[in-house]
Structures are given as C-alpha cells and as structure tokens.
Chains A and B, each alone.
Chain A
Amino acid sequence: MANHVVEGEALLAAEVAEASALKKLYLQHEHLLIASTAVLAFFLTWESMTRFALVNPLFISSPTLVARAGYRLFAEGEIWKDLRVSGTEFIIGYLMAAGVAIPLGLAVGWYKRLYYILGPFIDALNAVPRVALLPIIIIWAGIGIWSKIVVVFLGAVIPMLINTFSGVKTTEERFLRVARSFGASEFKIFWTIVFPGTVPFIFTGLKYASGRALLGVVVGELYAATAGIGFLITVAGATFQTDKVFVGILIITFTGILMVELLNRVEHLFDEWRPKVGSAE
C-alpha cells in the first residue's frame, strides 16, 4: 500500500507544480474539499426534502430540526440525566471487564492447564452474541442500571480476554530462551518479557471492547430501561419525535468516533512494544 500511495503522491506533485494557484490549492486540499462538499450536499438534500414537503418530517426530520432539538435537550437540561446514566453504565461495566479480563487473560496465556480448563467456556461465550442474553440478564438483575452494566461487561470482557491471551502467546520465543538460559526465574520472565510484549495487545483489546461496550449500552437501554441515551432514543422513536431520535444517535456516534480515535492514539503509543514475530536479528 505504501508504494501505491507514494506513487500517487509523486504524480500529484508533478501536476501541482504546473498548475495555476487556484488549482494548486484545490489539488493540495482535494480530500478535505471533496469530503466536505459531499457532507454539505447530503445535509442540503436532507433539509430540502422536508422543506419542500417531499417527505413528511415525521419520517426523516431535518438537519435544522435536529439541531434545534439538540439545543433544547441540552439547554433545558433533560439530557444530562440520560448522559449520566449511560456514562455510568458504560464506565462501570468497562472497568469491571478490564479488571477481570486482563489478569485472567494473562493467567490463561501463561498457565497451559488453566487454558485447557477455561478454553471451552471462553469459546462458548465468544460464539454467543451477548445481547441475546439480555432477557435472562433482565430476569437476574432487573431493568435498572445493573442489567446494563452486566451486558456491557459481557460484551467488553471477551475481546479484552482474547487479545490479552494472544498477546502472551505471541511472546518472542528467542527472548524466553535467552532468559531461561541465563537462569531467570519464571516470575522475572513474566514481568520483564511477557508482560511488556502483551501491552500493545491489551490496548487493541481495549479498543475493540469499547465498541462492544457501547453496543451493550445502546441495546440494553433500547430493550428495557428507565433512563439513558438508548432509552431516550426508544421513547422518542415510539412517540415519533424523529428529531430527538437523531440527537440520540448523533450523541452515540460522536462517542463512538471519539473513543476509537482516542484508543487508536493510545494503541499507537505502545506500538513499538509489540514483539516482531519471526523477525530476523
């Protein structure tokens, strides 16, 4: 891919050198310009569809209506409670998942027999879409905040566990051999070789888990809740307040993008720690 891009850019550079000032500006910012034009065109089409009464605003709302609803929700303060509830569910479930999955993943990766014992359960849970367990979780924990925390936990724990586990498993073989030859204790090997090599994998797991956790919050609240952003979306949908539905969806989208972006950065930070499997000296 690298080659492909470089070649494209080289061609572009040649084009740019010969072009007029205006064209140069366009070519240099082509990506941004085309992208923002597309987004603008999308919003204009959407707005005009309801403005010119082509479609009932009940069905698709419109950007201005959505903006107004968003402003109202934040200004009148109704939304803060929902945000707080969803945020609490997300954070508690996610942290609990990390607290369980990372130590367990390290242990399962390090002790072969523990893996043999727990492997079937991890595989089984991984195969089940965890949201299908919602009706049972509701029976166990009610429709309050705890059922959502459990769903978030179950959603997030598996990717974290599997990534931590595979992190331990991809430890550089040569390091282990050298450490053992020089008589390092198993404990020392674990903390100085295995664990640092696992860190990037843990962050990858955390990244995937954030998506699953967000899904858990939304689905849990859609299904049965008393407050939260997902609940806001359901109630608004059931009462045909399409503008409010869009506000809720936008909040979730922003959260999703923000988290992916943030965790991508963190993941990148630790990328050098990743063991290079099968690399030459």
Chain B
Amino acid sequence: MAKEERLLAAEMAEAPRPVRFYVENERAILGTIAVLVFLVFWEGLTRGWWYDLLGPILGARAERLKINPIFLSSPTAIAQAGYRLFAKGEIWNDLWVSGTEFFVGFILSVVVGVPLGLAAGWYRRFYYAVDPFLSALNATPRVALLPLLIIWVGIGIWSKILIVFLGAFFPICINALAGVRTTDARLLKVARSFGSSEGQIFRTIILPSSIPFLLTGLRLGVGRAMVGIVVGELYAATAGVGFMITVAGATFQTDKVFVGVMIIAIAGVLMTEALTRLERRFDTWRPKVGAAT
C-alpha cells in the first residue's frame, strides 16, 4: 500500500491540475458517478427515456426498457412519496410504534442478556446448564417462532417486542459470556495471589474487561432487532414501518415501500454507527489475549 501511494505521489507531482484533482479524489468521484448513473438509469426506465432513445434502433425489443412504475417506482416518485408521508404526518404513528417496539424489546434484551451472559461466563456449572439452550436457539432463525408468539400474545405491540427481544438477546448474551471468558488470566492470578475476594475480582477485573464485548454484542443486537421489527410487522401487525411496507406492497404503492425500506436502513445505520464509535472508544479496555508483558 505504502509503495503504491508513493508511486501515486510521484505521478501526481508531474500531472496537470485536473488529473491531480481526479487522482486525489478518485474514490469519491467514481462512487458519485456510479450512483448518479444508476439513479438516472432507474428514473429513465419508468419514464420511458431509454425506450424513446433506443426505440428506433432496437424496434420492438426496446419495449422491455419501458417498465411500469408499479414494479420499480423511480427515484423522484420515492422522494415525493417520502416528502408526502412526512409532511402529511401519516408516518409519525408508524415510526412511533416501531420505535417503541424496538426500544422496549432491546432494553429488555440488555437487562436480561447481560446479567445472564456474565453469570454464564463466571459460573462454570451454570454455563453447562444453559449452553444447550443458548446454542440451539442461537442456530434457529428466531423469526420462525413468530406464529407461536402471535398465539401467545396476539398481533399487537407485544409480539413485536418479544421478537425484538429474542433477536437481540442472543448476540448480547453470547458476547457477554465471551467477554468474561476472555479475561486476562494473569490478572486473575495476581488478584487471587493477593487474596482479593471473588466479588472484588468480578467488579474490578472481569466487568471492565468485558465492556468492549458487551458493546460488540449490542451492535450485533441492533441488526437482529431491526430484522425482528420488520419481519414481525410484515407478518402480523396493526401499525409500524414494517406494517406500512406490507400495506403499500399489497396495494402496489411501490414508492411507499421504498420509503419504508429506506427509513429502516437509515435507522439501522445510525444506531450501528453510534455503537461502533462507542466500541472504538472502549477498545483499549479489551484484554490483549496472549500478549507479552
């Protein structure tokens, strides 16, 4: 990499200004162009631009280049639909419902998952007892439990809270467990040699060194929780962003579907990004396994 950069630098010193600008910003320029081309192509498909353009050359085969907006929608239609949804305020109720489901479910999974994971990491016999359940459920896509959850708690907000809980619980719990188990053995040995109590060891050594793992678990949990919300609401709901997506899809309002998908993607990215930042801040707390003294 370093060598390549030096070569680049040598090239650049001699290059004229526009070339230099391009080379310096190649990534951003190519990326932007690609996205723009994609958006224009998409817009053109539903507006029939390519049909008009290539019709004389290709004849009847160009028919394929004109696509009913029901199937694809288009960037401008999506932007309009998004604007309408927010301006008229229809979306706020859905956002509020999905948000509540997410936060209640997620907080529950933290409240249950972290202590359980820490305990399973600390008490060997407890780990033996819960291990089969954790492994089995972790390998199951939890959304398969949805029909069961609906029988138990109905199609209201609680079935979604439960599915979010189940989705986020496992990554959080398993990471907490891994955090305790990767504690630096030398620290433990020293602490024991100096006669510190188990409680003291747990509070001052185990807990701080498992913080980075807990944050990783939270980050993974966010992704699972988002899937839980969407699937739960697609499957059976009365409100929520996923519900909006389903209804819009069933009534062929493709633009609205895309708005919903984008809202979910953006929410996911924002939360993951926030947790990644937090994770990086605490990364120095991560025990260096097998590191020399």
Give the interface of A toward B (CB within 8 A): 1-4, 7-8, 30-31, 34-35, 37-39, 42, 58-59, 113, 116-121, 124, 127-129, 131-136, 138-140, 173, 177, 211, 214-215, 218-219, 222-223, 230, 233-234, 236-238, 240, 242, 245-246, 248-249, 252-253, 256-257, 260
Contact = CB atoms under 8 A, between A and B. Distances in A.
Given A256-B140, A257-B135, 9 more contacts: A4-B181, A39-B132, A113-B30, A116-B34, A127-B269, A129-B265, A177-B3, A215-B227, A252-B140
Contacts of A8: 124
Contacts of B38: 121
Interface stretch (B51-59, B100-108, B249-257): B249-257
Contacts of B148: 237, 242, 245-246, 249
B265 A117 contact: no
A195 B172 CA distance: 34
A136 B182 CA distance: 44
Contact of B227 (A2, A131, A257, A260): A131
A120 B140 contact: no
B81 interface: no
Interface in B152-187: 152, 181-183, 185-186
Contacts of B128: 30-31, 34-35, 38
| Interface class of chain B by DSSP | helix
Contact of A129 (B135, B186, B189, B230): B230
B133 A257 contact: no
A252 B144 contact: yes
The CB with the most chain B CB atoms within 10 A, among A4, A7, A118, A211, is that of A4
A214 B141 contact: yes
B157 to A, nearest CB: 19
14 contacts: A7-B185, A35-B132, A39-B133, A59-B152, A120-B35, A129-B230, A135-B234, A135-B246, A211-B141, A222-B146, A240-B151, A245-B148, A245-B151, A253-B136
The CB with the most chain A CB atoms within 10 A, among B128, B130, B189, is that of B128
A65 to B, nearest CB: 14
Given A219-B143, A252-B141, A136 B249 contact: yes
B271 to A, nearest CB: 11
B226 A1 contact: no
A42 B130 CA distance: 11
Given A118-B34, A218-B144, A257-B139, A132 B129 contact: no
A260 B136 CA distance: 11
Interface of B: 1, 3, 26-27, 30-31, 33-35, 38, 70-71, 124-125, 128-133, 135-137, 139-141, 143-148, 150-152, 181-183, 185-186, 188-189, 223, 226-227, 230-231, 234-235, 242, 245-246, 248-250, 252, 254, 257-258, 260-262, 264-266, 268-269, 289-290
The CB with the most chain A CB atoms within 10 A, among B70, B145, B183, B289, is that of B145
A245 B34 contact: no
A219 to B, nearest CB: 5
The CB with the most chain B CB atoms within 10 A, among A119, A135, A248, is that of A135
A135 B245 contact: yes
Nearest to B287: A1
Contacts of A215: 141, 143, 227
Nearest to B135: A257
B180 to A, nearest CB: 10
A120 B31 contact: yes
Contacts of A31: 128, 131
A254 B143 CA distance: 15
A121 B144 CA distance: 30
Contact of A131 (B35, B230, B290): B230
Nearest to B261: A132
A124 B265 contact: yes
A186 B255 CA distance: 45
Given A117-B30, A128-B265, A237-B147, A135 B248 contact: yes
Contact of B125 (A3, A30, A242, A249): A30
B70 A139 contact: yes
Given A116-B31, A132-B264, A260-B139, A249 B144 contact: yes
A280 B220 CA distance: 32
Contacts of B185: 1, 3-4, 7
A136 B235 contact: no
A143 B70 CA distance: 17
